């Protein structure tokens, strides 16, 4: 971590910028601005050369693990390669230099892309309409819950509860609670699927809907989804699909046909926008025919080749994002979908599934696999055996960093002890999957020989074990304070 700041590299007279000669009449600052607004002395900017600046940022970028550096098998998060073409398109000035408040006539191309993405997502999922406004999967969930509420209010239904499986992503119960419902858990079977008998016990006229992740958070396809959907619809509940894991189903399953009324997708996972660190994201919501009137306003429509915003939706839940959503992410998704086409998208999911199954097969003799069914795009092991030998899942995750691999998701889902949730993604080659599997097996052998080697890891990272609780509670990103050791 002995990286110097640019200001520390600075010395008088060094300069990386040469301005062109001034070609307008020079004016005095004092004539242009009130004197109170003017600096009394020049700002203390670093004086550095171009190579120093380049090296500074290149070295900093290498301190962090990232998906362009090596494998990043973070389960549930889908850290796959994001084609650089997406960035090239998102960086085009024709897109970056428009303003969301420009009149629709002046941004017809941008609106066409917006509408195209909605149409592509309808074709992929079989839903009747989409909104691209939500800024994240969790935001999409909340939008979905708001749509559910509007549906039940209109029908005069007295609903209080939304059912969710015990394996659900933490954002599901949070969205339910923020949306004004009570989240009630449905158990999983020993196979890792929704327990239909437990679901039946929890069904009542108060049930507003069921929020189901498919593939679920242990990476399994919920085979009984049509039966679940029938039961929920019998009490006039709505089926909500958390489609954050849609990267396992592209071209394979149309969620609309599986009985779902609402589906969210994570563009920043399935449709390849780099993510992590809090955004930006995009969590579009798709609905079936009967819920179309409740979609957020405005809806982009096309008539006679002209695109426009339709605000005339009296039953809409209203706006749920400033302007029209995270357009840069939508643009990347458009590029990705257009580049791959329907066959390419199907290959994405097939690749994700075969990669996860390959790792399952390579690791299951050594790492305990609580749910043995064939997984979809990710597989969840338990580190119980290794814990019994002296090193916990957290230690294995830290040791992986020494081998240049990002750790999988750990301790989630909560229903698996010492969980190691591995999502290899479709963009990993057999060679990188083998490297990962070899390293996992080697770490197990290290635990056999010398557990402390693993419990003291990592040794090669810029910082070793951090006090994560303190870092979260007392976030301090000020360099001077860090240097004081505070």
Ligand X SMILES: Cc1ncc(COP(=O)(O)O)c(C=O)c1O
CB of 214 to ligand X, least distance (A): 9
Closer residue to ligand X in complex, CB, 136/443:
136
Closer residue to ligand X in complex, CB, 265/287:
265
Residues in touch with ligand X (CB under 6 A):
76-77, 136-138, 169, 171, 213, 217, 242, 244-245, 266, 281, 283
Asked whether the beta carbons of 450 and 399 are under 8 A apart, the reply is no
Asked whether the beta carbons of 165 and 293 are under 8 A apart, the reply is no
Helix or strand or coil: residue 145? helix
CB of 276 to ligand X, least distance (A): 10
Closer residue to ligand X in complex, CB, 52/242:
242
Phi, psi (deg, nearest 5) at residue 181: -115, 165
CB of 366 to ligand X, least distance (A): 26
Instruction: Tally the C-alpha atoms within 13 A of residue 481's C-alpha that lie toward its C-beta.
Output: 6
Closer residue to ligand X in complex, CB, 77/186:
77
CB of 427 to ligand X, least distance (A): 18
CB of 332 to ligand X, least distance (A): 15
What distance separates the 2 farthest-apart alpha carbons in the chain?
A: 82
In this chain, which residue has its C-beta nearest to ligand X?
137
Closer residue to ligand X in complex, CB, 48/253:
253
Spell 220-254 as b/e; 16+ CB within 10 A means b.
bbbebbeebbebbeebebbbbbbbbbbbbbbbebb
Closer residue to ligand X in complex, CB, 248/443:
248
Helix 171-178 and helix 137-155: axis angle, to 10°? 40
Closer residue to ligand X in complex, CB, 71/439:
71
d(CA 399, CA 396): 5
CB of 76 to ligand X, least distance (A): 4
**Burial class of residue 291 in the structure, from the number of CB atoms within 10 Å of its CB (0-12 exposed, 13-18 middle, 19+ buried):** buried
CB of 441 to ligand X, least distance (A): 27
Contact partners, residue 40, CB within 8 Å, separation at least 6: none
């Amino acid at each position: 971590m002995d990286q110097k700041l640019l200001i520390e590299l600075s010395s008088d007279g060094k300069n990386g910028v040469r301005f062109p000669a001034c070609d307008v009449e020079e004016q005095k600052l004092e004539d242009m601005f009130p004197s109170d607004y003017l600096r009394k002395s020049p700002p203390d900017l670093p004086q550095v050369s171009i190579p120093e600046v380049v090296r500074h940022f290149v070295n900093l970028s290498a301190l962090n693990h990232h998906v362009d550096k090596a494998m990043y098998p973070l389960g549930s998060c889908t850290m796959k390669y994001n084609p650089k073409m997406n960035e090239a398109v998102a960086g085009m000035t024709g897109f970056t230099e428009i303003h969301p408040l420009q009149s629709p006539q002046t941004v017809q191309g941008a609106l066409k892309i917006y509408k195209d993405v909605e149409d592509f997502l309808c074709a992929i999922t079989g839903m009747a309409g989409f909104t691209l406004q939500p800024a994240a999967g969790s935001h999409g969930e909340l939008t979905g819950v708001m749509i559910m509420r509007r549906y039940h209010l209109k029908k005069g239904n007295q609903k209080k509860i939304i059912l969710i499986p015990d394996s659900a992503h933490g954002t599901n119960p949070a969205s339910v609670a923020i949306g004004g419902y009570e989240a009630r858990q449905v158990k999983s079977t020993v196979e890792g699927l929704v327990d239909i008998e437990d679901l039946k016990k929890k069904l009542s006229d108060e049930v507003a809907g069921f929020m189901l992740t498919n593939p679920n958070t242990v990476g399994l396809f919920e085979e009984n989804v049509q039966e679940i959907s029938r039961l929920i619809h019998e009490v006039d509940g709505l089926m909500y699909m958390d489609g954050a894991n849609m990267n396992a189903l592209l071209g394979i399953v149309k969620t609309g046909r599986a009985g779902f009324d609402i589906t969210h997708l994570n563009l920043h996972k399935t449709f390849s926008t780099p993510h992590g660190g809090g955004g930006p994201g995009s969590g579009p919501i798709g609905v079936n025919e009967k819920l179309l009137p409740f979609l957020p306003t405005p809806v982009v429509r096309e008539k006679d080749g002209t695109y426009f915003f339709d605000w005339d939706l009296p039953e809409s839940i209203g706006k749920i994002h400033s302007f029209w959503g995270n357009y840069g992410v939508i643009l990347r998704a458009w590029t990705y979908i257009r580049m791959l086409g329907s066959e390419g998208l199907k290959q994405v999911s097939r690749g994700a599934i075969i990669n996860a199954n390959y790792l399952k097969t390579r690791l299951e003799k050594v790492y305990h696999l609580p749910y043995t069914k064939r997984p979809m795009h990710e597989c969840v092991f338990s580190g119980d055996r290794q814990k019994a030998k002296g090193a916990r899942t957290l230690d294995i995750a830290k040791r992986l960093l020494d081998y240049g691999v990002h750790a999988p998701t750990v301790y989630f889902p909560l229903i698996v002890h010492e969980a190691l949730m591995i999502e290899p993604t479709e963009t990993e080659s057999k060679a990188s999957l083998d490297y990962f599997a070899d390293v996992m097996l080697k770490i197990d052998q290290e635990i056999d020989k010398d557990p402390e080697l693993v419990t003291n890891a990592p040794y090669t990272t810029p910082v070793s074990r951090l006090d994560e609780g303190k870092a979260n509670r007392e976030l301090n990103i000020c360099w001077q304070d860090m240097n004081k050791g505070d």
